[in-house]
Amino acid sequence: MKQTNWYKDAVIYQIYPRSFCDGNGDGLGDIPGIISKLDYLKDLGVNCVWLSPVYDSPQEDNGYDISNYRDIYKPFGTLDDFKKMLDEMHKRGIRLIMDLVVNHTSSEHEWFKSAISDPKSPYRDYYIIKKGRKNGKKPPNNWSGFFGEKAWERIGDSEDYYLHLFAKGQPDLNWENEKVREEVKDILRYWLDMGVDGFRCDVITLISKDQRFKNVGPTIALAGKKYYVNGPRLHEFLHELYVDVYQNYDCMTVGETVLSTLDDARKLVEPERQELSMIFNFDHTDVDNHMGVKYFLRKFNVKRLKKVVDKWQHGLFGKGWNSLFIENHDQRRSVGRFGTDDTKYRIESACMLGATYFFLQGTPFIYQGQEIGMTNGDFESINDVKDVEAHNIYNLANKVKILKPIINKSLLQVSRDNARTPMQWDNSEYAGFSTVEPWLKINKNKCCINAKESIEYPDSIYHFYQKLIAFRKGNEVIKDGEYIDLLKSNSKIFAYKRKLDDKEIIVVSNFTKKEVKLPNIKGLDKFEITLSNYAKHSLVLKPYETRVYKNY
């Protein structure tokens, strides 16, 4: 089937189902809730949704632990609800991409239950099960995983262990086994045949493990990553999925590629290699931490951000396609981050960040609530957060003395639950999200930060996002133009140009809460301002002011 590359013209809205809208009054978001908000998404202007997992799951990691890939988690609805949602989205010109979580399953999946209960099970080899060292007293090697735990769990009192790079309830699949790959292809076809338009591929760069399962020397975190990130057969496995499945549908894939470098990314997205349509790189989410560890917070500096953006914009130009995002369900909220302010200048800040990333080359993603400037959760203690990652790290910090003060200080601030508080639809008791107490604490600021208010107020962040989306639509300069950083060494302003033949767009953003003199940008007097978060403009940029100029 002809691939139309529709994703290059998409603006994708991410829905985290348990926190979006509760349609049946049980405190948990669900599919009927999503259906009731589709007109809201259409009015915003997005034309694609990425839906975080809705499959059957014990929810140890909020659905990223799947126990049945062909059914829906009951509290979220039924398959019929899902089909209705898909149909209603398509009717509104909105495509749907699903989350594909196939590095691991849930430990409640039938395959895993069979694999561990019977050493002769045909499913034993679906997982990575190895004999421990010292007659089973020590795990097969010293690898550790993403949630601050050892990567191996002993199977009962046997000598065997299974590998889990995330929580214990998320055993890694053995992609060396051809049967596993065939199962994955069948799952893909099942959803594509139902009409879904593509997949966001969870931790896809972890699927191939170095089969020597070697020990590694001391490391701060993620011991063994050189053996399990971008493993030896990664590209071969992805190409196989493309050839056997993706190329038969007009679909797209976006890989979540933690720890990938630009060189890795090129290999993943160069169209002629036939692997993925695009990837999420996380370099910009690491500009405010040390050594890529989010708990080791570091003061933000816009020059570092510009450097990362420049690298990726040039690095993939003409070679592959970028994804653009500032939030997702694993990141804390963007407003209040990246040098911005989530109190006095919340609206200015949110609009400025929006304009700065929206006109880069690539497909923009908006995470639910970002379009109304939702802020981090107002958590007071670890008891307010539910995320398995936060609790595992908290327990680890309590065991490791030197980590304790660092983690205690940053845990609530960087917890993934900051992005997972219920969507604030209005000012009612449960924020219009539910009619009962929700699964996670609603932020008190629902009183003034909510979708209803944002829709009513003409100068809101929501209406600014509508304009960002409308301006991007069909704009060839934004889609295909080259990227030029205009003020590389300026430590307050992010300014870039997009250029296609003689058509040019310039974005100028003040990343500080102070007024800053507009620097001299050659030829700017011939441009006109087409979008801004301030009504009046002078030779001084106001706090968090952003201006989008064009010369045509």
State the DSSP string of 212-274: T-------SS-TTHHHHSS-TTHHHHHHHHHHHTGGGTT-EEEEE-TT--HHHHHHHH-GGG-
Name the minimum Å distance from CB 52 to ligand TEU: 8
Enumerate residues 104-163 that contact ligand TEU by CB under 6 A: 146
Residues 441-480: x where in contact with ligand TEU by CB under 6 A, - otherwise, as a string = ----------------------------------------
Enumerate residues 507-536 that contact ligand TEU by CB under 6 A: none
* Contact present, 450 and 40 (Cβ < 8 Å): no
Enumerate residues 326-355 that contact ligand TEU by CB under 6 A: 329-330
Name the minimum Å distance from CB 286 to ligand TEU: 10
Q: Which is nearer to ligand TEU, 181 or 225 (CB)?
A: 225
Q: What are the tokens at 45? A: 């202007």
Binding ligand TEU by CB under 6 A: which of 152, 162, 166, 465?
166
Is 202 a binder of ligand TEU (CB under 6 A)?
yes
Binding ligand TEU by CB under 6 A: which of 95, 168, 416, 498?
416
End-to-end CA distance of the chain: 37
Q: Which is nearer to ligand TEU, 35 or 414 (CB)?
A: 414
Residues annotated as catalytic are 202, 256
Q: Which is nearer to ligand TEU, 228 or 425 (CB)?
A: 228
* Contact present, 262 and 307 (Cβ < 8 Å): no
* Contact present, 211 and 224 (Cβ < 8 Å): no
Q: What are the tokens at 50? A: 């990425």
Name the minimum Å distance from CB 295 to ligand TEU: 9
- Shortest CA distance to 352 belongs to which of 256, 494, 227? 494
CA torsion sign for 123, 127, 133, 138 is: negative
Q: Which is nearer to ligand TEU, 81 or 202 (CB)?
A: 202
CB-count burial class (<10 Å; 0-12, 13-18, 19+) for 35: buried
- Shortest CA distance to 541 belongs to which of 493, 507, 496, 489? 493
Residues 284-323: x where in contact with ligand TEU by CB under 6 A, - otherwise, as a string = ----------x-----------------------------
131: Cβ–Cβ under 8 A, 6 or more apart, which residues? 140, 159, 160, 161
Enumerate residues 32-91 that contact ligand TEU by CB under 6 A: 61, 64
Name the minimum Å distance from CB 387 to ligand TEU: 8
Q: What is the separation of C-alpha 56 from the centre of its chain, rounded to a whole number of angstroms?
A: 21
Binding ligand TEU by CB under 6 A: which of 115, 258, 347, 374?
258
Enumerate residues 373-412 that contact ligand TEU by CB under 6 A: none
Beta-bridge partners for 200:
99, 254
Name the minimum Å distance from CB 331 to ligand TEU: 8
Question: Which stretches of the chain bind ligand TEU, using CB under 6 A?
Answer: 61, 64, 101, 146, 166, 202-203, 256, 258, 294, 329-330, 416
